[in-house]
Amino acid sequence: MTTVDSCDVCIVGAGLAGLNALFAASRYLRADQKVVLLDRRPRVGGMWVDVYPYVRLHQPHGMFTAGNIAWTLDRDPGYLATKDEVLDHFAHCLAQIRQRVQVEEWLGWSYVSDTAHDGGVRVVCRTGSGDDHVLETGRLIKAYGFGIGTNDPLQVSSTRVRSVSPDFCDMRGGEIAADTAAVWIIGSGKTAMDTAHALITRNPGREINMLAGSGTFFSSRDRFFPDGAQRWWGGKTLSALSGELSHLFDGTNEHEVARWMRERFGTGPTARADNFLLGVLSEAESRTIAAGLGEAVMGHLVDAVDADDGVDLVLDDGAAKRVPAGSWLVNCTGYLGNTEQPYEPYTNDDGTVLSIQTRSATMHFTSYEGYFMTHLMMLDKLRDIPLYALDLQELLHRSKAVMPFAMFTLARYNLGLIADAVPVGVFNECGLDFDRWYPWHRRTAAALWFMRTHRGESAGLRHTLDTIGERFEVRCGPLDSVLRASAVAAG
C-alpha cells in the first residue's frame, strides 16, 4: 500500500539552498499551512553533515544563514564558524522558521519523481526502508545544490603510501596525527588550505607538502572583510567588485580578468595559481601555510608507484616526484563536478516546480537561488521574468577558468531583473549579502547605486552571457529559448 499525504510546499534538500527556500516560502504561507522538508541525509545541513570535521566557514558567519536569521553564537563577527557551529545554526534556522509555519521533516527519505497533478504536483518519495510514499503538494522545490558528496581516498598503485580522504580521516587526531611521516596534500583549493592549516598549526616541524595542480588563488578575506574601523572606509564590498567585474569581463577574457583579480584582491600560498573558485582566505592563513609547507610542487597526480627507495608520485606531464615510503596522501582534489546531474530546467510550464541545481543555474550561489527564486515562485512570477539560465555543469567541463566570472555575470544580470519584480523587502531580508559586513551607510550607498545602474548595464551583461553560451556551446539564455534550442538540437 502506498500512503498519500499532502502539503502546501515540498522542499527536497535540507541544505543552505533548501533552508533559504523554506525561509522565503514561510513569508507567504499562513501558520496553519504545511511544508514538508525532505532529505536523504539524516539531519538538516546538507553537505555540512558529511564534510570533513575540521572545515571552517570561509566567510564571517553572520552571512551564512537562511534569510536574515541571526546567529546565536556569542563570537566576534569575523569568527569563522566550525562544522558543529554551522550545523547548530541550521537547527536554529529551522526552529525560527517553525514559528511562522508548520514544517514536517522527512529526513533519511529520497525524492523519486514528480508529475503535474490537479494544479499542483504529485511527488513520489521513498522512505529509508525503501517504501514509496506519495505527496500531493501545491509547489515543489528541488534544492539539490551542487550535489556535493564525500570524497574517497585516491586510488593509487603503490602499497607503500597511506592514501586518505579528509572526509574519513581527521587531520587533528588518530593515526595521521600520531605519526611523523611526511604528508602530501593533493590539491590546492579550500579543502587543501583547511587541511594544510590544520596540519601545520598542530604539528610544527612536520614535513607537510602540497601537490598543487595548477594552483588556486583565493579572495583575500582582509580585503573583503576588514576588521574594526576599516569597515567604515576600507575594504571592498562584494557589490563593488561585481560591478567592476561586469565591466571588465566580456565572455572571452577570463585569464586577463583572473590576473586583474589576483593582483588586486587575491591571496594564496603558491607562486603559481591559475584557478579561482570563489574561495576566501586571509593573508595570515596564506602566510602560515606558505611558511609551513616543505615543498609545493605544481602538477596533477596520475598515480603513485613503488620505486626502489621510495614511492614516485607520477604527474600528468610525465614527471615524477620521489617521496619516502610511508608518506600520507590526502585527497584534497575538490568536490565540484564530482556528481553529474541530469539536465532539468529551473521551472516547469506552470511554475509549480522550482529546481535548484547546476544544469539550469540562475545565480552564482545556490543559497541565493533558494532565496530569490522561491520568492519569485511564491509571487507566481517564475515564468514571467526572462531570467538567464546557465548550464554550469557543462561549463565546468569546458572551462574552469571562465566559471567564476560567468557566475558573477549571471547573478548580476538576473538580480537586476529580480530587483524590478519583487517588493524591496525581499532584498532587505536577504542576510546572505556580503555587503552586510559593512555599516549601514555603505550598504545603502551600494544598494542605491545598483538600483540606479542595473538597467543600463543589462545589455552588456546579456551580451557577455550570450558570448559564453556560444563560445563554450553550453545552454545559456532565457529558459524558453534554451528549451527551444534543446528541442531543435534533439530533432
Ligand X SMILES: Cc1cc2nc3c(=O)[nH]c(=O)nc-3n(C[C@H](O)[C@H](O)[C@H](O)COP(=O)(O)OP(=O)(O)OC[C@H]3O[C@@H](n4cnc5c(N)ncnc54)[C@H](O)[C@@H]3O)c2cc1C
Amino acid type, 449: W
**30: three-class secondary structure by DSSP:** coil
Nearer to ligand X, 327 or 393 (CB): 393
User: Which part of the chain contacts ligand X (CB under 6 A), choosing from 94-102, 140-148, 400-408, 453-461?
Assistant: 140-148
C-alpha grid cell, residue 162: 597511506
H/E segment holding residue 115:
strand 110-117
Q: How far is the CB of 111 from ligand X (least distance, A)?
A: 4
Which residue among 120, 145, 235, 416 contacts ligand X (CB under 6 A)? 145
Q: How far is the CB of 307 from ligand X (least distance, A)?
A: 32
User: Which part of the chain contacts ligand X (CB under 6 A), choosing from 55-63, 230-238, 291-299, 476-484?
Assistant: 55-63
Asked if 157 contacts 307 with a C-beta cutoff of 8 angstroms, the reply is no
Amino acid type, 420: D
**By CB under 6 A, is residue 282 in contact with ligand X?**
no
Burial track 154-170 (b if 16+ CB lie within 10 A, e otherwise): bebebebbbbbbbbebe
* Whole-number Cα distances in Å, 398 to 14, 270, 379, 470: 30, 25, 36, 12
Nearer to ligand X, 158 or 374 (CB): 374
Pairing of the two strands 353-357 and 132-145 = parallel
Q: x/- string (CB under 6 A) for ligand X, residues 180-199?
A: ----------xx--------
User: Which part of the chain contacts ligand X (CB under 6 A), choosing from 33-41, 115-123, 291-299, 465-473?
Assistant: 33-41
Residues from 319 through 338 that contact ligand X (CB under 6 A): 335
User: Which part of the chain contacts ligand X (CB under 6 A), choosing from 57-65, 260-268, 296-304, 320-328?
Assistant: 57-65
Asked if 155 contacts 163 with a C-beta cutoff of 8 angstroms, the reply is yes
Which residue among 7, 9, 10, 16 contacts ligand X (CB under 6 A)? 16
**By CB under 6 A, is residue 17 in contact with ligand X?**
yes
Q: How far is the CB of 2 from ligand X (least distance, A)?
A: 17
**By CB under 6 A, is residue 57 in contact with ligand X?**
yes
Nearest to 280 by CA among 14, 78, 77, 447: 78
CA distance 181 to 133: 52
Nearer to ligand X, 35 or 143 (CB): 143
CA distance 378 to 386: 17
Q: How far is the CB of 438 from ligand X (least distance, A)?
A: 18
User: Which part of the chain contacts ligand X (CB under 6 A), choosing from 70-78, 138-146, 456-464, 470-478?
Assistant: 138-146
